[in-house]
Amino acid sequence: MMKKRISSVFIVTVIFSLLMANSASAYATWGFTLTGGVKDRYYYVDPSNPKFSTITSAVAAWNTIDPVYISPSQFSSTDVAFYYTSSVLSSQIDFYTSDYGTTGWYGLTLFYNGTSMYPAGSGPTGPYTWCKIQLNSTSSYPAPTNTWLAIAIHEMGHALGLAHFSGSIMDAGIAGLTTPSGLTSDDINGIRSLY
């Protein structure tokens, strides 16, 4: 009788624990979102931008999730959809690339609400309507293509509302990893928690 009761408690505990584990959040957000959401929106990058193809691939990574990592029940490609526009006035995320020298950073994201800018250099402190992503293309920081792709995905993650979190594409040290990852389920869950 006693054994049966303990077994029941064990089974209930295991089920409860698994449910708790699934609901745990392994991501961090700014706590604020892109006004109007992340579906059917636009990004701008000048075709002469030296990182044009990397940026396009980064946007595609957010638009289409690899089913190897993410099950369709968690995320569908319609959750995030950014289309290219050649008009900077119609976009919500603008990518720029310049040689800023050996500043110590590869990329940063700036947040705006209409014609006002949130405290520069940090995350937004309220809802925002557009973002500017600046990539540093100095030749003093040569990086493999997959690292640049990870940096562009990372910065776009900031623009979508994610903050730094270790072990995901939002890892602050993503550029230093020898084999930076693509999107993880944590990143996707972070976006899903926001929109």
Partner 1 sequence: MKRKSLILLVCCLLFFLSIISACGENDAGSEQGLVGGAATLVKEYQSLDELVADAAEITEINVLSQETITYQDIPFTISTVSVLATFKGTLKVGDTIRIIETGGEFYPTDKVGKKLPKQTFKLNGIPVLEKGGHEIVMLSKFTGPQVEGDVYTPLGVYQGRFKFDSSGKLVQQVPESQKIKDYKPINKEKFVEQIKTRVHK
Positions touching partner 1 (CB under 8 A) are 2-3, 6-7, 9-10, 13-14, 16-18, 20-21, 23-31, 88-89, 94, 96, 98-112, 115-117, 119-123, 125, 130, 132, 134, 138, 140-141, 151, 154-155, 158, 163-165, 172-176
∠ CA(144), CA(109), CA(175), 5° rounding?
25
Q: How far is CA 63 from CA 11, 57, 191, in A?
A: 40, 10, 12
CB of residue 93 vs partner 1: minimum separation in angstroms? 12
Q: 33: which residues sit within 8 A by CB, 6+ positions away?
A: 127, 128, 161, 194, 195
Query: Which residue, 30 or 75, has its beta carbon nearer to partner 1?
Result: 30
Query: Which residue, 20 or 72, has its beta carbon nearer to partner 1?
Result: 20
Query: Which residue, 65 or 186, has its beta carbon nearer to partner 1?
Result: 186
Distance CA 115, CA 39 (A): 22
CB of residue 78 vs partner 1: minimum separation in angstroms? 25
Q: Given its phi and psi angles, is residue 121 left (phi above 0), alpha (psi -120 to 50 degrees) or beta?
A: left
Query: Which residue, 10 or 83, has its beta carbon nearer to partner 1?
Result: 10
